[in-house]
Structure 1
């Protein structure tokens, strides 16, 4: 039995295409095909208005037969839907796809590619989180997921508007590569023409790097050099250069401009000298009281008289603390008036405590450092500056605090000197990158250090100075003696342009939740980096690096914006020179047991020189 179909054949342009009347399928096939208009169904599937039926259902078998018997009609329907002909849904055989364009293919056409932002694509497999990887500035390693090169450069991030100010706060447990990351950033800063300053290298971890970069190393401490808190420093030398330029200048407007700059710089120098002496006096009196108002006035008057023509001192020949001591001890009508005394006897009684503190600064351990002229003035032209204080007695908190305060005052005076020369047109505009490693030791050194660091975190953008602050955990900021200092120190994380987290314990991630937002995946990642290396059997004597060594999460925002997981990569030069090896004292122990030094990342030795 045969069935006939007397429906007229329609053109390919008609939206409804039917089988021709000449086709006479069997009754069984007709039963399978049924009354479904497969041309219409194929057109609606191509347009996305209908779903593909199950292949082995009645409609699925009928649609497959229709597609096999009407390849040209199928092509017309597909092209009308907008897809190219080679993306037709054709049935396959042992030799490839059936129909026009089918068969074996020696070259497979590339699929259509679509581009979208990380926000739009977020959540689509395999991009569970955003994977932006800035490569502007100093490249320090690779993205932990995509292997793209990633930079970690406060100045470059600030220039590209990723962060609001060029500062970075680094948190990580010991031994996971914090100092290595900072050294890589400092190396890049030298390459970009910036001047890194390590104002107080407590553990001596940056001396080798500074020497390799051809920088200046200033040693302070027992058996080291001296630092005169009354010297003008680099700022005083800048004033001398500005005065020399003013004396040969002929343009009246230019002379007025230079006079204003010089006057402002002199006031800044005098203020810094007074503050430096007062801070040292307060350290001596840490268990009594701070500097009194009239004592502050006495110090200022004495310095003014010392730098006068009668005093005989200048920025080229600055006075010492013993000269300040003698000048206050001798007194003058201005000093008597400041102490509100009209006779020498009453004056001497008023200055007794001040003279005792100044005497302590000119003798004993403090006198070994502050009682003589500065041995090595800071060189503005040095590519890197490191003030080494590693020889200080770690138990002498007063001496350590005094030296750290003086180092920071001298370093920041150097920054002001560079800006003065740039404003006067005598030198180029310089950018400085100040590294503050072991933050917990610095801010806990004594009164005034929290305020000094706080000042820098608020003004570093104005002063064209980047700031790197490094510590182990946020708990370090809670060990300060006063509640006011603790609150101020916690603000360092809030004001940091970017926060970099290495391996941290679970409790630390929860503690930081008030200042920094972690997604669940990021929290798991950071805490997983805090684990040590997996245990091995005794027959395998080579050491493995901890899981989290060299791994960090860069957070450029304090909201729920995904961070950037990276792993640092060491170059051949870094490995050969051992600039990052902080376990040098264990070298004999490691070599004796045939154990690799864990100071270098396992991945680093394999990927050295990757970029």
Structure 2
């Protein structure tokens, strides 16, 4: 067939296309074939030849050698073929709709090449300041939770942290990871009153000091100056050396520090005795003014040259008892009595309270010299009081109060030695686990914790407060203590929330601002493990175990959801295992499940 015959045979479709750009005398079939073999170049798309060739290809798209892109995919089924492209877009309804969308092409590249693209275009805030405790629950990025590092980097206003979570969801494990990291940063963690012995294993593993108090344990002398008393001894020796070398400026500086230290020691001794007396008189009245004066006068006389006691050899409660019982002219004047009979009448209740500290349950702990003075050089200090009778609230309160006085005296001694140039500046991290038991132990504990929470920046001391819910702060005996305790959350540098019930989230709305997503997240963590059928015997963990939301601001700033992660060393050592007493039961249950012995 000649070119003329081909034109005549295609007259039916040539007529409309001649008016729309076809060149009548051009053999488009031959041109398309030569373009496909490379003998001819592709004409310009908007030229008359280009427009005519495109329309010819659309008409003959199934023909071999048409040179059209569709011809390369003619073997695909009709449902997969793409719509024809025109100058106005793809033909068909929707201008490009396909009946079946193919799977997208996947690429694999490094995080440097695809940074910010996969899986999230905008990264979530995940500070790496200080101790890394886990990973971001959404992005998987490593997250640190460190009060001192957050304070250093201006994330929080003071180095303190308040942790709220229901039991069994890993709040103590989170605190142990923070304390473990603190030792690596050169800080000294102190757990002053470990009620459940949850930090003894960690302290032992780190080579720290474990002080055991309670029935069958050691003793604690409330009149011992402890580490602060040893600091006074070192200051006196340093002042003597400075005087021998003629350094008058240093002698004057050390003298000022020594005067402040001695006054602090005496004040803490009097406060310690008065606090113990108030615990004994819990249902009657507090220490009277003249009783406070008598205790101070008796201590001054005991530490005088004729008293026979000093900071290296402190007196005991029984020595204080005998000195007050004997009485002196200064003590009689303090009671405004001129006769010894009148004096004894006034001190009867005081002597009864001091006698209770010498004998009975309190006497087994407070009637002898301190067994283990706190060691400033220890990497971690833990005072284990788990052997105390939990039903004896007076004894527990007395021990807890004395432990905190001793611990804070250690902090003051370290700062005193640093100011004198006798030791390096130390940072301390105090942990108050089971806060509800600590502040509920006695009337003086709320004031003690309140003092620390207000002055921790000045004293270079971090504070970790851990409890179950905010309701624990509302169970205190007096309204004043409740208001004071509620301020702990407000003053905390950051608040960490684990799994909490819905009512607790609503109760905290006055102190913290939760978004709706954060509320759903925190309340979902309070559920236990999902139910499973008897055939699926794999043990599951609660949904919220190890999950926490870090709130570094009290406004609407989003929190940081994290999942704690344990290292192999932590897992192998069992330092986080607080269910040790259930080990045999768990092993037995696991064995029964493996043999199919399951109750139905």
TM-score range, shorter chain: 0.7 to 0.9
> 1:551, CA displacement in angstroms?
0.4
Q: Show the counterpart of 1:492.
A: 488
Distance in 1 separating the partners of 2:567 and 2:174:
13
Q: Show the counterpart of 1:9.
A: none
Aligned partner of 2:286 among 274, 287, 290? 290
Q: Show the counterpart of 1:563.
A: 559
Distance in 2 separating the partners of 1:21 and 1:454:
87
1:183-582 counterparts in 2 under 5 A? 183-249=176-242, 250=245, 251-582=247-578
CA RMSD of aligned residues (A): 2.9
**Cα contact 2:278–2:286 (8 A) shared by 1:** yes
Distance in 1 separating the partners of 2:592 and 2:548:
23
Q: Deviations over 1:388-427 (max 9, x none)?
A: 0000000000000000000000000000000001000000
Distance in 2 separating the partners of 1:339 and 1:307:
21
**SS of alignment partner, residue 415 of structure 2:** helix
Matched, 1:61 2:86: yes
**SS of alignment partner, residue 258 of structure 2:** helix
Q: Show the counterpart of 1:120.
A: none
**SS of alignment partner, residue 570 of structure 1:** coil
The 3 A distance-change label for structure 1 pair 315 and 19 is same
> 1:22, CA displacement in angstroms?
6.3
The 3 A distance-change label for structure 1 pair 26 and 211 is closer
> 1:62, CA displacement in angstroms?
2.4
> 1:386, CA displacement in angstroms?
0.3
1:70-81 counterparts in 2 under 5 A? none
The 3 A distance-change label for structure 1 pair 179 and 595 is farther
**Cα contact 2:21–2:52 (8 A) shared by 1:** no
The 3 A distance-change label for structure 1 pair 329 and 144 is same
**Cα contact 1:2–1:25 (8 A) shared by 2:** no
Distance in 2 separating the partners of 1:440 and 1:108:
51
When normalised by structure 2's length, the TM-score is 0.81
Distance in 1 separating the partners of 2:343 and 2:110:
96
Aligned partner of 2:151 among 140, 158, 183? 158
Distance in 2 separating the partners of 1:288 and 1:397:
16
**SS of alignment partner, residue 593 of structure 1:** helix
> 1:211, CA displacement in angstroms?
0.5
Distance in 1 separating the partners of 2:278 and 2:145:
39
Q: Show the counterpart of 2:31.
A: none
**SS of alignment partner, residue 563 of structure 2:** strand
**Cα contact 1:3–1:24 (8 A) shared by 2:** no
1:35-114 counterparts in 2 under 5 A? 61-62=86-87
Distance in 2 separating the partners of 1:593 and 1:449:
42
**Cα contact 1:207–1:217 (8 A) shared by 2:** yes
Q: Show the counterpart of 1:84.
A: none
When normalised by structure 1's length, the TM-score is 0.80
**SS of alignment partner, residue 162 of structure 2:** strand
> 1:439, CA displacement in angstroms?
0.3
Structure 1 consecutive aligned stretches of length 4 or more whose deviation exceeds 4 Å: 1-5, 18-29, 106-116, 124-128
**Cα contact 1:137–1:156 (8 A) shared by 2:** yes
Aligned residue pairs total 513
The 3 A distance-change label for structure 1 pair 442 and 556 is same
> 1:541, CA displacement in angstroms?
2.7
Distance in 1 separating the partners of 2:419 and 2:392:
41
Q: Show the counterpart of 2:29.
A: none
